[in-house]
């Protein structure tokens, strides 16, 4: 019986749907990321760039300062990151006091999740899936590749790179010129391939870290419901993503190719306590 892996299937992509019908079975295969030839940054430089972005972003966004929340989220990220293809980055995560459902990552391992995303979801597995997706994006260097391309297009790449380890205000001035860290991140446009890659990288991170990757199904199903209720006004969090049914179908297919351990985690009392604690936070500041 023929067994094709995903790479072999892609080589036969010119056959279209016939490829899927000819293959009796596919082997589960995690994407293996290679560094773009346009990205010349070392990990040290990427971390330095991310740290500069993070410092600027945290001056712009209402970061929640709570040791217990930071510890809870940090333990999840630590477990996922250790099972990623880039385990040596100095991963960190912070909660943003905003009701908008969102999560994002900066170059070098800096993750952020909005209070609104946690308020939207109903289980720890969904939260883990969202964070695993962002770690997958870091593994694939999606954000840093786009930021470098943007700097190059604006002819400021050299001054940014030359001043990453200098506290002289040059990098901050360049970020301010283009609207600040949040504005620059909002302009990043990730392709369908990027989103699918981040989903699959996160899927296997979850699986190796002892989590049931069905958390992705629950999360994407929730997003699908949100899209349906949004009507003609798409939610900003989902507007730059490929159609949720497409992502959901890919994850459901991947689930048929793997064996999930019987003890894989999907929820915990810690998550319920964490979610309840959000109700004790002050209301997010009004946007100007």
Name, in order, each residue with C-beta under 8 angstroms of 53's C-beta and a sequence gap of 6 or more: 106, 107, 110, 175, 181, 184, 185
Calculate mean pLDDT across residues 208-224. 96
Share of the chain above pLDDT 70, in %: 85
Q: Identify any residues that bridge with 96 across adjacent strands, giving them in sequence order.
A: 63, 114
Residue 240 has pLDDT above 50, yes or no: no
Question: Is the predicted pLDDT of residue 137 greater than 90, yes or no?
Answer: yes
pLDDT greater than 90 at residue 39 = no
- pLDDT category at 20 given cuts 50, 70, 90 is very low
The whole-number average pLDDT for the span 71-78 is 98
pTM: 0.86
Tens-digit pLDDT profile for residues 155-164: 999 999 999 8
Higher pLDDT, 191 or 282: 282
**Whole-Å CA distances, 71 to 93, 97, 240, 270, 273:** 9, 17, 30, 11, 13
Q: With 70 as the cut, is the pLDDT of residue 143 above it? A: yes
* pLDDT at site 66: 95
The beta-strand segments (E) located in 19-163 are: 26-27, 92-96, 103-106, 110-114
> What is the model's pLDDT at position 242?
54
**Residue 19 has what pLDDT?**
30
Q: Residues of the chain with pLDDT > 90: what percent? A: 68
Q: What is the pLDDT of residue 226?
A: 84
Q: Residue 250: pLDDT band by 50, 70, 90 thresholds?
A: very high
Report d(CA 55, CA 136) in Å as an integer.
Answer: 22
Q: Which two tokens stand for residue 133?
A: 């997706």
Mean of the pLDDT values across residues 236-249? 67
What is the average per-residue pLDDT within 167-186? Answer: 90
Q: What pLDDT score does 21 carry?
A: 31
pLDDT value at residue 9: 36
Residue 244: predicted pLDDT: 82
- pLDDT at residue 230 in the model: 66
Average pLDDT, the chain: 86
Taking residues 131-159, report their average pLDDT: 94
* Contact in structure between 50 and 109 (CB atoms under 8 Å): yes
Determine the Cα–Cα distance for residues 62 and 27; give it in Å rounded to an integer.
44
pLDDT bin (cut points 50, 70, 90) of residue 34 is confident
Q: Per-residue pLDDT for 231 more than 80?
A: no
Q: Residue 13 pLDDT more than 70?
A: no
User: Given this model, what pLDDT does residue 32 score?
Assistant: 84
CB 198 within 8 A of CB 28: no
């Amino acid at each position: 019986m023929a067994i094709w892996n995903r790479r072999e299937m892609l080589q036969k992509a010119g056959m279209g749907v016939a490829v899927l019908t000819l293959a009796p079975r596919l082997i589960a295969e995690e994407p293996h990321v290679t560094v773009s030839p346009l990205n010349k940054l070392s990990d040290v430089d990427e971390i330095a760039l991310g740290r500069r972005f993070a410092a600027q972003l945290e001056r712009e966004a209402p970061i929640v300062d709570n040791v217990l929340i930071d510890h809870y989220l940090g333990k999840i990220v630590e477990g996922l990151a250790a099972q990623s293809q880039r385990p040596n980055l100095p991963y960190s995560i912070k909660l943003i006091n905003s009701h908008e459902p969102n999560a994002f990552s900066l170059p070098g391992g800096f993750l952020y999740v909005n209070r609104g995303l946690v308020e939207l979801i109903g289980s720890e597995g969904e939260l883990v899936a969202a964070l695993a997706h962002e770690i997958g994006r870091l593994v694939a260097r999606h954000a840093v590749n786009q930021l470098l391309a943007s700097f190059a297009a604006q002819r400021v790449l050299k001054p940014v790179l030359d001043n990453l380890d200098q506290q002289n205000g040059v990098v901050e001035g360049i970020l301010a010129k283009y609207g600040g860290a949040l504005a620059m991140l909002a302009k990043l446009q990730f392709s369908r391939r990027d989103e699918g890659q981040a989903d699959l990288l996160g899927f296997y991170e979850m699986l190796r870290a002892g989590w049931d990757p069905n958390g992705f199904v629950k999360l994407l199903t929730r997003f699908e419901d949100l899209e349906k209720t949004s009507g003609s006004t798409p939610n900003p969090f989902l507007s730059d993503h490929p159609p949720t049914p497409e992502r959901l179908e890919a994850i459901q297919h991947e689930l048929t190719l793997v064996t999930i351990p019987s003890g894989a985690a999907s929820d915990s009392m810690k998550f319920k306590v964490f979610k309840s604690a959000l109700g004790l936070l002050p209301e997010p500041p009004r946007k100007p």
